[in-house]
Chain A
Amino acid sequence: AQSVTQLDSQVPVFEEAPVELRCNYSSSVSVYLFWYVQYPNQGLQLLLKYLSGSTLVKGINGFEAEFNKSQTSFHLRKPSVHISDTAEYFCAVRPLQGAQKLVFGQGTRLTINP
């Protein structure tokens, strides 16, 4: 079985500041890793995913994430945030084989203050 922990339920940041949203996972098998974003009144959208290869993954809207296998982490970063980045961010994993379901973390609400 898999589990995902997002260590921060809320992260307030000033505009143009850097941000890191933390995600740790546990799994007995290899997994794919995802970050989804939910803007107000919208569905979840894929931000980026790690499948294999380079551990630094770049996504949409200037976000990137780094896969660290030894620490079982997949933290999301952005060097300079905008007001429009205000949203809920979800880390998720899915096994390479077998069960097709995504296992999500609790979500982190990112609030950008002017």
Chain B
Amino acid sequence: EAGVAQSPRYKIIEKRQSVAFWCNPISGHATLYWYQQILGQGPKLLIQFQNNGVVDDSQLPKDRFSAERLKGVDSTLKIQPAKLEDSAVYLCASSFSGGRGSYNEQFFGPGTRLTVL
């Protein structure tokens, strides 16, 4: 079974530029998550989708970050314009469902390392 796919693996941009990350979850997984992991810290949830609907985006900086999952499968996370403090690893994860129990077990992709200069 293929895992969670992410691209690109690395990205370097100048501040105020825009950037987009792509994620394809495990086949059949209804729930998709985007996390931000700053160096030395644990992952922090940015947004959670259930199929193509947003379940939680309370920690997403909506003035510059946006995400979509139009067909309920793959997803794109965008930053526009980027700031220096956005330098981090952006992780995508998926689970069979977002509820209680083992159906909520999350599986992570390899991540995208973003450097903002």
The judgment on whether A and B are partners is no
Chain B contact residues, CB within 8 Å of chain A: none
